[in-house]
Structure 1
């Protein structure tokens, strides 16, 4: 930190002070306001803080917070790791993360999809992990084909950066294809509704095999799935040497987290951390910023699941307690959620038939209309507490989008 110019040192100090005051005032962890003040005083602060560090950028529509945590845990044998553990995934959060760990030689930064080009240019990240792209908050985020195109241009202009990319997602493959050096991971693609057309020519994509052993290629041009270096197959990952690495000890539930673990193993291998050393460290991660946390409240065990878009809801359904376990759904439409809730109609809620279901949140009426169309029996409540108390003592799965999730997490217990 002492190598920074005086202006940058002042920016860091004032940013930390602002972050501390934000925490004391109960306004959050202070990552955003601290980074915002730092960048206002020194617009080049991110570049200065990134200098001489080995950095990983992690980006995707879904799973980037979890994968960032997994990578960070697996890299701990290398020493202190700077990371934005609480999900502040724009440059303000990156500044705060790096400023908070001035002596860390390594950094793992979750990065919002549309900020990848900017952050890559300013940090020169050594490794970029790209996992999936699907529709998300279309009222405030770019169309996903445009995002993939921006990734292509950014990676073409960053020849020193190595990319770890999910080759089962055609849009991610297209976005990563211009990188000079790529490790391809067959991490699976469970939501396919946004990738039926070739991003190269617009022709139809032909798919073969199952979700866990698939192949795809364009019917009209050369674009096709690359040969993977790492392959997720059931509860194992096949590494480049052909050895099967078991994921049975990974504590985070569901197929999406097996995909996240496969990406994490491929990333840390770039830094010399072998799977046998990384796996016990991945197994230490049991909750990520409240996701998958179980909290106790008046005899009920509430398991908190975050879902922000159709692909995320599909993965949340994958880890629900067996039917007829009860489910509470909460939807808001504030700025961080996106104001447009029309995406609810892209989610197949029929899987909830036969369960007790409660609908709440600011947009509970929108949610109720969608559930009724899916012929799901439900009860609308004004507050999540009404749903919790309506359930007999036992387990309740709670699925919520971003601000609704944070509200519920704050009310019933914040476990990192």
Structure 2
């Protein structure tokens, strides 16, 4: 599979640009690599794993704590400088990006096979160890794919390719969510994880076939020492934005997805406690919900191309917060399938919309000389606060109630809106909007 050069004179403006992006070899590559990133996430860091643990009898507090074993997804910026600077030694012949990507995908595959044979009801030590390994490899895979996407398209194409990437990612979520739950319901969790591990062969083959992206011409003098590999990406970010604006941007990104992130761990247990079967959860949350997420993603890509970041960042933040309140329907009408559909529609539609808006915004903030590092830092910050609170979410629910928990999560959007108000005149719009 070939990729387009970052300097190719191609227009990706508006909805027509998104359709044009779908027709390129780059888009197919990004869709499959996105699939490889989405597939392991639910199995090691989110709802499928927590549903599995609840299904075998673990308490909510333990489930929340075990979810912290996937914390490498939050810290990938720490080793991203190595990904930016060096090729992985054993596979260096593939190029800087693909050498890391292939190794990460292979480790994820091995870890999923190992998790298939874990028995958490008899002890969680082995499961936690393999979740740690899988999350480290999965986080590395995400960092490389993010850098790959940014390096094969100009800034005004990022919303379009983000939507393409999200399509593949969401398909991965469907299979890791609905697919795994259906298999677990019909057979058992071992068969479910074995099937998911086998699907990683598709992105592995894609990595072997796709072309290495063209490295950008460096506009800075890179230090050749090991310390410089870590220091320069961060100093470059603050040199470009200034200290105050840089800090506010990082804080804004860190809080933007907080309402969504904070409820992620408890979603699976909440569905079971509300009286829904694993097949119900697979159909509504993992099939219908992911389809709604794809619709939201493409709406977000088109909206950013047409209207820019500022208004869409505001609309998405409000939408994500209000979608949390939709879970109150399920809390007040437990076991009612219509309430499940309504809550999942709102949640996934706005998650998909906000996800693409945030991806495009964060991509615009990165220096292409340090793509993997700076984008990994932003993505880690986007997930860090909610992830840590999510680790304690089981105790919050047990101390209060699901309804109170969802209401509190809705109100956490207020700090984000205050920061957006301060940033409003300082946010740079994409070229497609500026040119209009």
* Fold match by TM threshold 0.5: no
TM-score range, shorter chain: under 0.3
Task: Tell me the TM-score normalized by structure 1.
Answer: 0.23
More strand per residue: 1
More helix per residue: 2
